[in-house]
Structure 1
Amino acid sequence: MTTGAERLLATEHWLLAAAEDRHQAVTAWAGGGLALLRCGGTFAAVRIPAKRIQEAAISREPQEIDRYLAKWLEGGPVICDRAASWYYALVPASTARRWTVSGSTCLGIGASLGVPRPGTTAASGARVYWSVPMDSPGMLCHPAAVTGTVTAGIQGVSR
């Protein structure tokens, strides 16, 4: 049996594989900051305007949006940047090569993403937090589910 703390630590190690400077990333997390991680190797990130997510979820309440995303992205990890008004759905790295969904951008090779330490939630008051926590290493959003969520936001309908 694996404990939540063990899964969290394993997830941290998995994410740190994408850090250009692992020590700097660990130090940033220890200070409550963001680790700058490279996209395109371990994962890619679909950047979605918060307005699209709010329209899809028919809510502006962070807890309701988090529940909506967890359900429709089947527990796949999502990061929210409150100040910049973006959501980032983490997807397999290969997604970036073929992403063409209007209203979103897939960050792949050559891009970096500020990632909060696993376990950072909206309740912590952090500017950037895990809207849907990464439950275990390598667990990513399915690209088709992300496409459906972005499309629902464009159409202004909830599923």
Structure 2
Amino acid sequence: MNLLPYNPDDTDEIQQLFTRVFSDSEGETEGQVIGNLVYNLMSGTKTQDLYGFVAIENEIIIGSIFFSPLTFKSKDNAFLLSPVAIDTSHQGKGIGQKLINYGINHLKEKGVELIFTYGDPMFYSKVGFSLISEKTIKAPHALTHPEGWLGQSLVDDEIKPITGTSYCVNAFNKSEYW
């Protein structure tokens, strides 16, 4: 298996991966929603504002993750990890963790200080994320499941509070994702 930055030429294959994986786990409607989100993220986000990574096996993309800026008035260098998909037949083998760690190391080399995500605490805690109170860091929209707001610092042992609102890229700027 190879871990690599994504190639924009693979947009269709990546969108299909997310659609298939989320359809398998959450139902066809959710699969379409996440597939469209990924397409909008790849096609509507400035190249310099999007870091995507893929896991490839036998020339087929079996996993993908994306990081996009989470901005604050304070100018803290932060990114949002979302979404993540590993082909259903390859889940449970540690591929997601390897891919996330690969991406985090890449962002760390680029000087990124903070990474946040909104998801399953049991999964993301395996790669260094911990619960973040919205009193510490406010999410871009009201959270349906506050227990899923997670973060990690790439420069300190703890995340220091940041006052004010956070802002995400356009693709995520819909309350339905939060």
TM-score relative to the length of structure 2:
0.26
Structure 1 or 2: more strand by fraction: 2
TM-score relative to the length of structure 1:
0.28
Larger RCO: Structure 1 or Structure 2 (Cα < 8 Å, ≥ 6 residues apart)?
Answer: 1
- Max Rg structure: 2
